[in-house]
Structure 1
């Protein structure tokens, strides 16, 4: 092998005029023009994604002189370019050929073209005119449409005879590996195989075996023995397999070392299995976002770091959105035990040849790209699943035929038609091994959140907070469990979200409501946005710059709210974590679900700027939650309690069922649960329960608990702690206990629904007034919505408007001045917690744009980075000689709940006290401008 890494001559050719001499620049490869800061500086600034500082699109010519030693000149030789775009190669001016794979190495045979001494290799790389759009491989939303060559760049030399196309097929049942390869050069010869395990606690060496090969295409079976170590997420044991081709005298003439894992990732009914044991997929989406380079790393060490971070948060599965990672990612996943699912680079419509707009060339390319992925990476034990694309539409017959052909070609993996195909009218195809989606019909939802343009919304967005929700009745509705089929409307068109825009698609024929009988994965769950962290701007030291963050910060500062950015970030983040906890637990409570794919554990820096991660785009923690705490609701063993609400009356009975989702290897005979209910005053109740576990159980009903809550005179926050004794398996839930309350919490307080002459007169006379406008009557206000925004407001506002549907509310939780005396009887955090749910849902927040910066709401609703409204949920001011409190809350509806009455009680006590002395003085004109 001769490495070609290092300095290359460079000629940029944006207009595609052809090669020009002399070359005007140099570049270090592997790398990209953007990373090397080549070409004109980009004057455009993106708001919906990161901005590439030096963006070049067109042809780039790379040239390098290489010296070929005499002894290699007549050898078989291949030029290997690990990852690039569309390439054409010349050797000493003679064109060798072209390659167009976006996912796999470009390999050129140079045999017969080489001579000893100095020769010039020229590679033209074009990042325009792709056979397909390329999905997240070429998108400015993810790794950008870079130009260059990344990873290994080398000349590979072989002798007169060598092996090619080696394929490893594990056979768990007999502890062996079937080795298939082509023999180039001689037609026969001895091949020896040896293997030694690594990456595990135990070691295992397999004796060398010799096989006689008598044809150019051969298959041999290498027995690993009964002591063979198995590969799985829990025990990612691997083998180094050495395959040596010898001549008739016994001398080695070709040798390969390959990594191999003996494992079997299969399905069993509605679950996945690994080596015969059921497993639950805890997945994340990955779009190859790497802000410091703009392209995916190709070294194993970096992927070990990245995947290791995900694994520390309980992730055992990666779904690559319309892309396939480099080989280093699979190698790292092999070592860590992560189940990988690459996807064809397609997000569109698959058509039949007779359909209008049919693009046969594109479909042929996509199919060939799938075969290339299977051949390049299929030996990796971590490569267990494959998808045909993201949210595909079109011919189900054609899609299924592609699936069938792939499965015939390579049956080592499980296949699916795509991720969330035919979104509103999905069906399972004959050759689907598993199904990935978000709904089975309009109302059969198995995800916790949705965009307004895809309404109805999910339970995390709309339902009273509790821990009862699972998706079992959505996966198999009670009225369909006897095999009945309910017809649904067929035909017509529908407008859907498509990338950052909207698209009209044909619904096609309805298949009726159906019951899935293969594993179901919930697609792109979560999407709970957080406010930007502007301190992150300084981390973008590579080719991608956070100009969008700078614009968002300038917008906020122009509204006089820049000083609140850090609190917006912290408070929105805590609400997002709470939403994710409920989303994930609902998945773990669902006994018919096979797994989920988060979107995402990390921020997605494009498509409007979707800051949906608990990690930033660099895979660094945003400080919202530790990996240890996240794993309490995202792991191979998740302890959960089911109860309908978080708010309880003094002395009320707290009833809950405790259960355990268990996907660890082996099942204990019994386990011991210790539980306790604590408060600041100490332990309120505790107990221990021992449970026997059925062999092979994955869902364990531990016990039902009935706990009489203590009598309290003040609102009390308690913590319900659960722990499986002697393990790391634990869980905590916050509960709130309220004292007995009167029906009329505002007795003695002057309450007005509008800023009437009577209210103003009372204020002028020095009175105290509570203004509670009916939320429905307000125009200068934003609707109350407890859950944080979905994905990001600007993108989905635009999509909703284009398809004529309601736009999202777009808010991101509360920022609360919790040290204010108004909360003396309603103690709370600085951010949204469940006592606020019914208050927020029955309210509006008044837009206070333009008011004096000193007039700060006591409770402020956090707006998104596009609008940046100053939103007052609760605020006070002095008017004339009197004092005014404003809260656009439906007091009647709030008064129907414990937490609502307690809030009103606390509000009234504060207003009746001497502490009710607002610092800001507002004029009548200011108030009338706000209260519309």
Structure 2
């Protein structure tokens, strides 16, 4: 029978920079499992990293761990395996004899010590090297994520077995037949029978299947075990599991070995443009994950912690995890089994797959990566949650070789669905023969199915550049009725520059993707990436080995610019804009009937790659206080109400029309539904009603009905809320709309307006007059372009990439900080953060750089800059200067005035200048103003 000797505890420790044999002495001790960094071993790291967290006790080299272990007499002669759950490159010595080396980053290291252990005291030495990897390791070893730690995490144990045991156990559930095929290799020759039994758990009630016995003949086991007609199915809705017990029996029927395995009876497959689980359509609401754990610097290996982490994601509507160039430990799959999360591990590779003879071909690395894939499948594919597998992130190179790797995996293990990689051949993707689904961001330059893109990957997405409304979906991009394409002069091949990792690369593109339509499910890759300003209160949370030195540097920069007092306001108001961007991004995905799912980047902040604070949650998976989980689920869940309307900005007296839809991916059809709706402005009900429909299916986007009402003629700008509620359920949706008076005009009468501070303007100021300066924004040098959406990912990283590609750098701002009580906005009531009422104003503006001016001079409308530049930016600001009053409005009035919202803003500004309220308190020299507005 199996038994285990737990080797956790205190080990002797020796650290060295270079790999060599056994050390002369062990100068320290350390607790294992753990890492040298977490244990604060080695020299303290004096670095202050800007682009990622700083590992306070970073150590790269060789770490030797030695421990004396006591082996009982009844175990010394048994089959003995040393099991190291998760580590780096290891070399093992037993009693001074070198046993071997293992180098998997993703799977356990197992050493056969059979016949080598002595009864009593044995000395076990393990060297761990976190240098010299066969591959860079992606996010498995990156300082941007879980760090390049050194040590051993998870189970460290000697496993003892009897005369027979099972190896390479696989379970193949069959939902239709309600049985499971079991295959394994039988080690040893004393077993005569296999007894199989199963009992369900993790459900509201339990089910026990009848046990069965199978005669054994030879070293291979291949049997089919029935779970019975009452068998329970595993899915995201009902993650019911079975404890499958496999007992090897001798000729007398006595058990000589027992193996337990968790089984989920499920079938996850591609079916047209969607995925199906047990014959029911599902929509993947995925979270990108890079194994970021700031309190430890490494991924947890206990199920309880992963249940907590995955459970948080589930409360935010997620049902899927894609691990970026990483594979989590076993506990993550076990937790996902319990919660009903669809998992997609990925090879630790982000680069180019080449053929022998090609430039920079590295056959050793390629062989290693392929073997890592087999190791992942052997270790984790029995888990019902392990339903997908990817070859890497944004791969380039030989499609033939990539497909051959896919083919090998599918022949080895047909259970997961496979993809060539996440966003491979980004600008010119195509399906490969052995793909089961496609994951990317575009099919051609213009066929986009994501809402946001980096500036270097322009054209950008609709969330960034299109007027705000809720009509956008990706159906035409995914399955075009007709696409016009051109050919390059050299027969379809052309050189293009692309983002490559965190840099750039010139590649040869064949054609432009044409108008091909994927016959497989399409998943949108890394959607979102809307950044917020840092929350400096978070610094104190970094109590582990990883320190937020980057946050401290960002805070110092802000304070040096005299803007430190605005840090909290920057964080809160940039964050509210980012959440609104995510809302539109995710709703557009749910409005797309041809899309199979998305992988959002990210629900949580990303600690590296320049520091990308793109989450509704911080790096600890704690809420940032920007949105409630209920409101997030209102646009990211298995049931979401959607309203399609042309614009958030409306005119009094016009007709408002909205089509109401229901994205429904729950286990059963909702049947007869009623949606209550109302449009309110404050306490006033502008319209309400109910829409009824009969929805007899699940797994689709359903049209329920429409809303149509005449908007009242209003005398002032009003904010309204369109509220939808699916009666009898937890499903609701709210949209903020704005209604403008029909007669509002941008009346410049009685206002002295100038494009520049010319002699006439100066003379007027000298007489104590009031001047409105509206510079020609195309001529403003000392300024930043206006853009509505939150910065993509993080400014430093994509600024660098754009510069290396000689492309336009990102705008890099985070929306507005609005002094909404200022009388200049009396007729344009606003929140303190950016809302869609500001879209046309901002997109037709530039913000003047006001660096070096006193902190008490606060713009009426200030643009929030990123943490690298920290410019003080004014879109609308005022001062006393030159003897008079000056209001600067860096907006293109002609362009903004084409829309009701733009006219309302201009009207409010002009009314203010004409009023007695125009009396700036801050005074500044005219020459200084001229120096900034040039």
Normalised TM-score (structure 2): 0.98
Aligned counterparts of 1:658 and 1:738: Cα–Cα separation in 2: 24
Which blocks of at least 5 consecutive residues in structure 2 are unaligned?
none
Aligned to 2:660: 658
| 1:125 maps to which of 120, 123, 128 | 128
Structure 1 position 221 matched with structure 2 position 224: yes
For residue 844 of structure 1, the aligned residue among 836, 843, 846 is 846
1:250 Cα deviation from its structure 2 partner: 1.8
Report the Cα offset of residue 557 of structure 1.
0.3
Q: Could you say what secondary structure the match of 1:366 adopts?
A: helix
The alpha-carbon deviation at position 637 of structure 1 amounts to: 1.0
Which residue of 633, 636, 640 corresponds with 1:634?
636
Answer yes or no: is 1:34 the counterpart of 2:37: yes
Partner of 1:555: 557
- Structure-2 separation of matches of 1:924 and 1:279: 63
SS in 1 for 2:912: helix
Q: Residues 674-733 of structure 1: CA distance to partner in whole angstroms, max 9, x if unpaired?
A: 111111132111011211224346121111221111121111111001111111111111
Note the C-alpha offset of 1:183.
Answer: 1.4
| Corresponding residue for residue 158 of structure 1 | 161
Task: State the distance in 2 between where 1:339 and 1:617 align.
Answer: 22
Match of 2:476 in 1: 473
Equivalent position of 2:689 in the other structure: 687
Does structure 2 retain, via aligned residues, the 8 Å contact 1:11–1:19? Answer: no
Cα distance, 1:485–1:465 mapped onto 2, change above 3 Å? closer
Contact kept? 1:741, 1:902, Cα under 8 Å? no
Match for residue 424 of structure 1 among 427, 444, 459? 427
Report deviation, 1:15: 2.6
Aligned pairs for 1:448-459 (under 5 A) are 448-459=451-462
Separation in 2, partners of 1:865, 1:407:
46
Moved >6 Å (runs of 4+)? none
- Give the Å deviation of 1:903: 1.0
1:166/1:179 contact within 8 Å kept: yes
Counterpart check, 1:380 vs 2:383: yes
Matches within 5 A, 1:425-574: 425-479=428-482, 490-508=492-510, 512-574=514-576
Q: Distance in 1 between matches of 2:111 and 2:829?
A: 69
- In 1, Cα distance between the equivalents of 2:305 and 2:863? 40
Q: Give 1:621's aligned residue.
A: 623
Deviates more, 1:189-198 or 1:336-345: 189-198
How many angstroms apart in 2 are the aligned matches of 1:874 and 1:505?
Answer: 44
For 1:878 and 1:183, the matched residues in 2 are separated by 88
Deviation at 1:202?
Answer: 2.2
For residues 112-511 of structure 1, the aligned pairs below 5 Å read 112-186=115-189, 188-479=191-482, 490-508=492-510
User: Aligned partners of 1:307, 1:563: CA distance in 2, in Å?
Assistant: 36
- CA shift, 1:912, in A, is 2.2
Deviation, 1:820, is 1.2
Rounded to whole Å, the distance in 2 between the matches of 1:873 and 1:195 is: 68
Indicate the larger mover: 244-253 or 517-526.
244-253
Aligned residue in 2 for 1:726: 728
Moved more, 326-335 or 762-771: 762-771
Stretch deviating more after TM superposition (691-700 or 615-624): 691-700
**1: distance between equivalents of 2:221 and 2:662?**
49
Alignment correspondent of 2:679: 677
Is 1:781 the counterpart of 2:783 in the alignment?
A: yes
Q: Which of 829, 846, 864 is the aligned partner of 1:827?
A: 829
Q: Whole-Å Cα distance in 1 between the matches of residues 599 and 398 of structure 2?
A: 25
| 1:874-917 Cα distance to aligned partner (Å, 9 max, x none) | 11111244211111111111111111111112112222222221
Matched, 1:44 2:47: yes
Q: What is residue 608 of structure 1 aligned with on the other side?
A: 610
* Structure 1 residue aligned with 2:896: 894
- What CA distance in whole angstroms lies between the structure 1 residues aligned with 2:741 and 2:322? 49
Deviation for aligned residue 1:188: 4.4
> Which one of 81, 101, 104 corresponds to residue 104 of structure 2?
101
How far apart are the structure 2 equivalents of 1:670 and 1:50? 52
- Give, in whole Å, the separation in 2 of the partners of 1:313 and 1:124: 42
Distance 1:178 1:313 in 2: 35
1:747 to partner: Cα distance: 1.7
Which consecutive unaligned segments of at least 5 residues does structure 1 have? Answer: none
Q: TM-score, normalised by structure 1?
A: 0.98
The question of whether the paired residues in 2 share the 8 Å contact of 1:447 and 1:583 is answered with: yes
Question: How far apart in 2 are the matches of 1:119 and 1:850?
Answer: 69
- C-alpha separation in 2, matches of 1:651 and 1:3: 76
Instruction: Give, in angstroms, the shift of residue 778 of structure 1.
Output: 0.5
| TM superposition shift of 1:257 | 1.5
Residue deviations 1:793-841, cap 9 Å, x none?
0110111010110000101100011111222111110000011000001
Residues 101-150 of structure 1, C-alpha deviations (whole Å, 9 max, x = no match): 00000000000101101000000111111111100000011011110000
Partner of 2:857: 855
The C-alpha deviation readout for 1:270-296, integer Å capped at 9, x for no partner, is 110000000000001100000000000
Say which SS state the counterpart of residue 157 (structure 1) adopts: strand
Residue range with higher mean Cα deviation, 36-45 or 15-24: 15-24
The Cα of 1:510 is off from its aligned counterpart by: 6.1
Q: The residue matched to 1:638 in structure 2 has which SS?
A: strand
Please report how far the alpha carbon of residue 509 of structure 1 lies from its aligned counterpart in structure 2 after TM superposition: 6.4
The residue aligned with 1:904 is: 906
> Which residue in 2 is equivalent to 1:57?
60
CA distance in 2 between counterparts of 1:524 and 1:844 reads: 29
| SS class of match (1:673) | strand
Count of residue correspondences:
929
Give, in angstroms, the shift of residue 415 of structure 1.
0.2
**Is residue 188–residue 216 contact of structure 1 (8 Å, CA) maintained in 2?**
no
Deviation at 1:492, TM superposition (A): 3.5
Whole-angstrom distance in 1 between the partners of 2:835 and 2:319:
30
Partner of 1:862, secondary structure, is strand
The alignment partner of 1:507 has SS state of strand
Deviation at residue 392 of structure 1 after TM alignment? 0.5
Structure 1 residues 744 and 529: CA distance shift in structure 2, 3 A: closer
Name the CA distance, whole Å, in 1 between partners of 2:662 and 2:701.
6
By how many angstroms is 1:649 displaced? 1.0
1:749 paired residue among 722, 744, 751: 751
Query: Given that residues 499 and 607 in structure 1 are in contact (C-alpha distance below 8 angstroms), is that contact kept between their aligned partners in structure 2?
Result: no
Range with greater deviation from structure 2 (893-902 or 810-819): 893-902
Residue deviations 1:745-776, cap 9 Å, x none? Answer: 22211111111111111112121111110111
Q: CA deviation at 1:506?
A: 3.1
CA distance in 1, matches of 2:555, 2:493: 46
Residue 872 of structure 1 corresponds to which residue in structure 2? 874
Maintained 8 Å contact 2:64/2:127: yes
- Which deviates the most, 770-779 or 734-743? 734-743
